[in-house]
Amino acid sequence: MRSVMVTGPGTVEIVEIEEPTCGPRDVKVRMRASGICGSDHMYIALGGLGRNPGRHPLGHEAAGEIVEVGAEVTGFEVGDHVVIDTMTFVDGNFGSGGDQGGFNEYVVVHEAAPGKQLRVIPADLPWEVAALNEPMAVALHAVNRLDADPGAKICIVGAGPIGLGALLGAKAKGAGHVVVVDVQPARLETALAIGAYVVINPTEEDLRERLIALHGEGARGELGTVRPDTDGYIDAAGSPAGLQSIFDSLKFGAVVSIPAVYKEKVQVDLLGLLPAEPDIRMSMAYPTEIFEVTDDIIANADKYRRIISHVLPYSRVLEAIELAGTPGATDKVVVLLDD
């Protein structure tokens, strides 16, 4: 069968490998869709990692169809459509250094158990939307890190896939006003289409002043300047300028959740932050959210589908990877393993 592997620094190839066999406590899955993540390009640049440097199977944003169920496995049937928890495979993190990845044509889930590595989804959920389950769990974790009360006023900086997923996650959690910030008009249009209260382009207007107009004046503490009454911020952009705009806007006691991955060190004015006493929380992966997000994806498939900018067939997977790694060329790219 075919697999897409990192075979060296900066090198990714389609290779032929042996098709896996299903044991009595295993489930065999035909992969049907897999998204491309920024971390995939990090793995490519590094030449692979984990258990398989130099032979690293790619793909961790995956969905598939069960084609074989071991005799000792309960809770699954042949034909079930499933999404995957990539961090619970016994043979290493799926697509992130483990023995298998989402661009393998077939995958065997060893020691399979319902609600652990796999969750069954409706058969009518489009494969490309199902493949969003993993990145949307990352986005939902960023929302959960805010620990915001229902009706909270939230500002999300960055309207890429994680920022848009955080928008949908925040609304599902009962947020009041969710404002989305980005410099790309097309992304802002998408944010409005899927439920943003207001969108802001910081190249055209001052973020702090606009948030004050939208949310009112927040508690000043010892700040000495007026700050918006925005309860929580999510940095999904990974831009030093965007992060600074958040810090310049914090009311006393505001919460900041940061799922963004910064590729270089960022200088922070801690003295300037001190009077606001903000709660800054990093957000990584999805400790509990991988199947929590699934229900909202099922209920709002059309909105989540708007996050996807490109869907390509498996025959163009290398092109898809290159496209996804080109700054500004795309948002979320999903590959369908249908040919």
Examine residue 301 and state whether it is found in any structural domain, yes or no: no
Domain membership of residue 177 (yes or no) is yes
Does some domain include residue 236? yes
What integer is the mean pLDDT of 85-106?
96
Q: Work out the pLDDT band at 222, boundaries 50, 70, 90.
A: low
Radius of gyration in angstroms for the set of CA atoms belonging to the chain, rounded to a whole number: 21
Assess whether 183 and 100 both reside in one domain.
no
User: Confidence band (pLDDT; 50, 70, 90) for 339?
Assistant: low
Mean pLDDT of 12-17: 97
> In terms of domains, do 65 and 189 share one?
no
In this predicted structure, what is the pLDDT of residue 221?
62
| Residue 288 domain-assigned (yes or no) | no
The predicted model gives 22-33 an average pLDDT of 98
Do 250 and 146 reside in the same domain of the chain?
yes
pLDDT tens readout for residues 138-178? 999 999 999 999 999 999 999 999 999 999 999 999 999 99
The pairing of beta strand 255-258 with beta strand 279-282 = parallel
Q: What is the pLDDT of residues 66-92, one digit of tens each?
A: 999 999 999 999 999 999 999 999 999
Same domain, 228 and 177: yes
Q: Which domain holds residue 204?
A: 137-282
146's CB contacts (< 8 A; 6+ apart) are 152, 154, 170, 231, 232, 234, 255, 257, 281
Burial class (CB within 10 angstroms; exposed 0-12, middle 13-18, buried 19+) of 160 = buried
Same-domain status, 208 and 265: yes
Residues 143 and 278 grouped into a single domain: yes
Flag whether 295 is in a domain. no
The pTM of the whole model exceeds 0.85: yes
298: in domain:
no
- Same domain assignment for residues 8 and 65: yes
For the chain, the domain total comes to 2
230-271: pLDDT as tens digits: 999 999 999 999 999 999 999 999 999 999 999 889 999 999
Q: Do 171 and 248 share a domain, yes or no?
A: yes
DSSP string, 93-122: STTTTSS--TTSSEEEETT--BTTTEEEE-
Domain CATH number, residue 233: 3.40.50.720
Tell me, yes or no, whether 257 lies in a domain: yes
Query: 219 and 253 in contact (C-beta within 8 Å)?
Result: yes
Are 123 and 149 members of one domain? no
In a shared domain, residues 100 and 155: no
What is the dihedral angle through the alpha carbons of 7, 42, 164, 326, rounded to the nearest 10 degrees? -80
Q: Are residues 78 and 202 in the same domain?
A: no
CATH number at residue 113: 3.90.180.10
> What is the rounded distance in angstroms from the CA atom of residue 89 to the CA atom of residue 92?
6
Q: Does a structural domain hold residue 292?
A: no
Distance CA 38, CA 115 (A): 26
Token pair, residue 169, equals 């996650």
Residue 158, CA distances (Å) to 38, 200, 278, 300 in order: 15, 10, 20, 21
**Does 6 lie in the same domain as 101?**
yes
Any idea what DSSP says for residue 315?
G
